Structure 1
């Protein structure tokens, strides 16, 4: 486009032009800038503001890159904030510090008594679980995870409270009630209040009523949990007073305490030949989430950084061209007494003003686009909408960054401008 526009310039227009943007002041925007400049700004600052809008086509191309970089940076920061909030909310629903899974079922009363004998343990639960398939019309449904897992929940338990999106959570006195994954229900057209058949393998089939749907943040394939009252499971099967997954709440709730309790319990159980298949603290869950998201956020931050560098280079090129076009103008200002610091400050101020304009445009764009982007990323990565939170600190952070980028990008053109002598500039044709 610039080459095409340059080719259209006639010989007479090229010879007559001083490169000063002679058409500035003809539009309403230009006249508004002049009025504001005369009223509130000193002469050098007023010239810097006017020069920003003198070449609007060039300004638009430079702004496009800077605005894109700013919008991308703010959106990535907001996405990071939203992911962090989503992880915080998800882990807050898991009010325990460590969990242990046995190879085989163990007696609930014995395991809970031994676990709560440790002074750092304030509460323990041993939950029964059994692989299951949900049957409709005699056919197995499609689970959202790697298969279904029926999990028993003791009465009045608050160690795990999933995010309920429809219906309700389990209540004391419930019998043959289940809460299942919303995604599984949607895939199989299962409605609230509907009765489903759970195939528990060697434990037989039984009918259960769906009382609620939950939504969970999951980044790896895992069993699709179907929650039911533990006593109701025992009544429907031949099992009683046994469980496989131990949830432990520690005091104090710190990573060091959780790790120490996990080691103590594992050693204590294995000394009695009760094999522990797996252990996981809530803090290891958080570390896993953080590491998982870091790889994607790092890539997006890298893209935003590259765009910012490209924007800075574009700004440097734009100001350098402006210096060449205004060589005679610089000579006139020097001839009437303009000092080197004034000229240098004027060009740096031009760059900073362009950075501020891009910031003013990027902020509202990122605010509007942020929530839809968070929802798209959440659905694409975890099949859930992220808990959205716009990052206001990032707005101030990008303001500081774009000012620094603008100053650094303006230094070379500004030094080039002040190095021009009066004789050279006035002789420039």
Structure 2
């Protein structure tokens, strides 16, 4: 570029600096969001995988129907290591227990993981954080670091832990543990603890954990089918040669954190929105540059007349675009880095993982720079080439856009009583159709996403309300050992404040897989992926589940089971109502007829239902219960907590061992923790789209003012006051904003429906209820109008100050 072209470039940048600033901001905002999401996405997989794999998780956990002493389990694990495909094996156990801290009973249960004192800890590891050693001496226990606040405990405090069917243990908290293989305690509303088998009398281990290697290698296999095959062979060996019955074989998704998919879906969804915002911003910049090129057509004609060729002119404007791209990229790099690190920390927090390195890989920054420098010139290439190739004759004949009003507006202008200024604003709004639809489209995109996100939030609130209605009980009590339903009901009915009592039995089950063994997708926390059967009480339920197929259970029916769509899809996706399924209950196989399929949501309750008579017939045991649901006369939290404590005392006084008796609010908090991230998806998308839409409106109005410089000069010449001109320009912006709101209606409804189905199935295993947030509609209309008035303020001020002389000299 020679000196004259450089002079012109500097002059154009100086004269139209406000327009170039808007271009830089539009690209920088969207590139910041896109870059931050990209940085977080490229880092979260590394951090999650590294943290999870650092625990050396088991590929499969084989749960025995009875426990073995540590010495016998160690010998069994040594033999298992010699089995084909098994690279490591160890024995463990775990249980849920009631816990009291310094004599104060806690409402949340404690999940205790137990290993033998001489366990080499080569598998299912954890990191010690404060004080504490492994194995802890008898009488001491380690607590998960994220469980301290939930339990209200600190190192050095005394705990009373009551294992199922065993006397209470008095333990001292000797330290804390970091275990990234588990979901966070606050999200699950359950504490985590780690105990040596030396503290248990008697000490029994009922889990054989194995790591499965790739065929012919020592590295862990990431193929679940391979893991299932090897685990099935080990299970068959245990049954055939060792005489051990298998209660369950747990094979979760290999080496994937139970909540990792949530972070992946969130980031991918947000990245899609960030990419959309980036694309819209570059389209906006291309349109703004096209307006600039169009404005400079007479200048291009003059440059060509004095000897400039198309190549030199193209290089001039390409340098202009590159300067905008470079400035936006430099402006976005630091905020994108900070946003990426902040978002990474928040998402890892939902997974219970502490980041070791928050920096994104180098190639993520290379992608941000490449996109920032390359996408705007690419989008502006067509108008740039078209402007540089215009001939001298075409440049001389150029007169700008037509101001001829449309037929409808022309007919409106003939009506008496209509404000002339409003009619002029309406005419000017649509005089450039391409510019009009670009501005309206960007505003409509932001509005549709904002309304859809708030409507999605309304859908999640409706889900929580449905869950609360389905959890019609107020207090939930778990028994360590099954008891007779009549005895349980009689003991609880005497408690003041109790209105109704339901006695249930909940038992973990397995679904028949290879070699007719009970396989599940259960994670080590025994919550994610587990399958349980619930016996329903006699009589109609206050809140019956929604049937998707078939029918509900009949009183006293045997041999029939109702499955939720979650367990059906995860275990036997090809089966439906009327088919048969083979279940393992207490390690014993039985064949059941599927009476129906009900709709449930992730974290919402049981996976399968049968009658008490049906479960008793299949297990060969009398119809006992281990779960009590209590409805109270008042439903406030104070009443629930007082009744829960009284129910525990009443059951204990009747000779029953109570695991946990707590208000249902704890379960509500756990399910709400799972739904929390959903709203973040679309609100994060709406923000950059809204900013780009506002910039687009401002640029549109600025271009309109430049196009009509002479028109405003004529208006001033015939007596128009500055206030009148300002009002016309502001009215144009408001009309554009209102048009964007109208255009956003159908996309908002469609986006709400589509995302309600997609995100609902991903997060809760069922579509979200379709809800439209009317407050969100009103908020967006108000924000759009106010934003339009602010965005057009600068253009309106400039239009009101144009003099007649400036208009006559405008080129």
TM-score in terms of structure 1 length: 0.87
Residue of structure 2 equivalent to 1:214: 598
Equivalent residues of 1:181, 1:226 under 8 A apart: yes
Q: CA deviation at 1:334?
A: 1.0
Deviating more after overlay: 43-52 vs 53-62: 53-62
**Could you tell me how far apart the structure 1 residues matched to 2:486 and 2:590 are?**
26
**Could you tell me how far apart the structure 2 residues matched to 1:278 and 1:345 are?**
68
Residue of structure 1 equivalent to 2:536: 153
**Does structure 1 residue 112 correspond to structure 2 residue 489?**
yes
**Does structure 1 residue 398 correspond to structure 2 residue 755?**
no
Equivalent residues of 1:108, 1:126 under 8 A apart: yes
Residue of structure 2 equivalent to 1:33: 409
Residue of structure 2 equivalent to 1:180: 563
Q: Summarize the Cα distance change of 1:226–1:295 in structure 2 as closer, same or farther, 3 Å threshold.
A: closer
SS of aligned partner of 1:245 = strand
**Could you tell me how far apart the structure 1 residues matched to 2:642 and 2:783 are?**
44
Deviating more after overlay: 96-105 vs 336-345: 96-105
Residue of structure 2 equivalent to 1:296: 678
**Could you tell me how far apart the structure 2 residues matched to 1:263 and 1:15 are?**
90
SS of aligned partner of 2:790 = helix
1:192 pairs with one of 553, 567, 577: 577
**Could you tell me how far apart the structure 1 residues matched to 2:442 and 2:394 are?**
31
**Does structure 1 residue 225 correspond to structure 2 residue 607?**
yes
Residue of structure 1 equivalent to 2:629: 247
1:354 pairs with one of 726, 736, 741: 736
Equivalent residues of 2:447, 2:744 under 8 A apart: yes
Equivalent residues of 1:74, 1:363 under 8 A apart: no
**Could you tell me how far apart the structure 2 residues matched to 1:359 and 1:234 are?**
61
Superposition pairs of residues 256-295 of structure 1, within 5 angstroms: 256-266=638-648, 269=651, 276-279=658-661, 281-295=663-677
Equivalent residues of 2:504, 2:628 under 8 A apart: yes
Residue of structure 2 equivalent to 1:89: 466
Q: CA deviation at 1:160?
A: 5.8
**Could you tell me how far apart the structure 2 residues matched to 1:39 and 1:291 are?**
59
Deviating more after overlay: 104-113 vs 411-420: 104-113
Q: CA deviation at 1:244?
A: 1.6
Superposition pairs of residues 307-346 of structure 1, within 5 angstroms: 307-346=689-728
**Does structure 1 residue 70 correspond to structure 2 residue 452?**
no
**Could you tell me how far apart the structure 2 residues matched to 1:177 and 1:199 are?**
14
1:122 pairs with one of 496, 499, 503: 499
SS of aligned partner of 1:190 = coil
**Does structure 1 residue 423 correspond to structure 2 residue 801?**
no
Equivalent residues of 1:159, 1:247 under 8 A apart: no
SS of aligned partner of 2:772 = coil
Alignment deviations for residues 321-348 of structure 1 (CA, whole Å, 9 cap, x no partner): 2222222211111111111221111010
1:102 pairs with one of 476, 479, 501: 479
Q: Summarize the Cα distance change of 1:32–1:160 in structure 2 as closer, same or farther, 3 Å threshold.
A: closer
**Could you tell me how far apart the structure 1 residues matched to 2:641 and 2:390 are?**
75
Equivalent residues of 2:561, 2:593 under 8 A apart: yes
Q: CA deviation at 1:399?
A: 2.0
Q: Summarize the Cα distance change of 1:227–1:325 in structure 2 as closer, same or farther, 3 Å threshold.
A: same
Residue of structure 2 equivalent to 1:168: 551
Deviating more after overlay: 55-64 vs 67-76: 55-64
**Could you tell me how far apart the structure 2 residues matched to 1:299 and 1:185 are?**
28
**Could you tell me how far apart the structure 2 residues matched to 1:91 and 1:218 are?**
14
Deviating more after overlay: 370-379 vs 267-276: 267-276
Residue of structure 2 equivalent to 1:388: 770
SS of aligned partner of 1:206 = strand
1:7 pairs with one of 363, 369, 388: 388
**Could you tell me how far apart the structure 2 residues matched to 1:293 and 1:12 are?**
64
Alignment deviations for residues 213-256 of structure 1 (CA, whole Å, 9 cap, x no partner): 11211159x8x632111133234445335322111111122333
**Could you tell me how far apart the structure 1 residues matched to 2:691 and 2:773 are?**
22
2:428 pairs with one of 51, 70, 73: 51
**Could you tell me how far apart the structure 1 residues matched to 2:389 and 2:721 are?**
37
Equivalent residues of 2:508, 2:531 under 8 A apart: yes
**Could you tell me how far apart the structure 2 residues matched to 1:217 and 1:331 are?**
65
SS of aligned partner of 1:128 = strand
SS of aligned partner of 1:209 = strand
Equivalent residues of 1:109, 1:241 under 8 A apart: no
Q: CA deviation at 1:304?
A: 0.8
Q: CA deviation at 1:171?
A: 1.9
Unaligned stretches of 5+ residues in structure 1: none
**Could you tell me how far apart the structure 2 residues matched to 1:208 and 1:296 are?**
37
- Structure with the bigger RCO (C-alpha within 8 Å, sep 6+) is 1
Equivalent residues of 1:330, 1:417 under 8 A apart: yes
Q: Summarize the Cα distance change of 1:235–1:141 in structure 2 as closer, same or farther, 3 Å threshold.
A: closer
CA RMSD of aligned residues (A): 2.9
**Could you tell me how far apart the structure 2 residues matched to 1:181 and 1:55 are?**
56
SS of aligned partner of 1:39 = coil
Residue of structure 2 equivalent to 1:366: 748
Superposition pairs of residues 126-141 of structure 1, within 5 angstroms: 126-135=503-512, 139-140=516-517
Unaligned stretches of 5+ residues in structure 2: 1-285, 291-382, 522-527
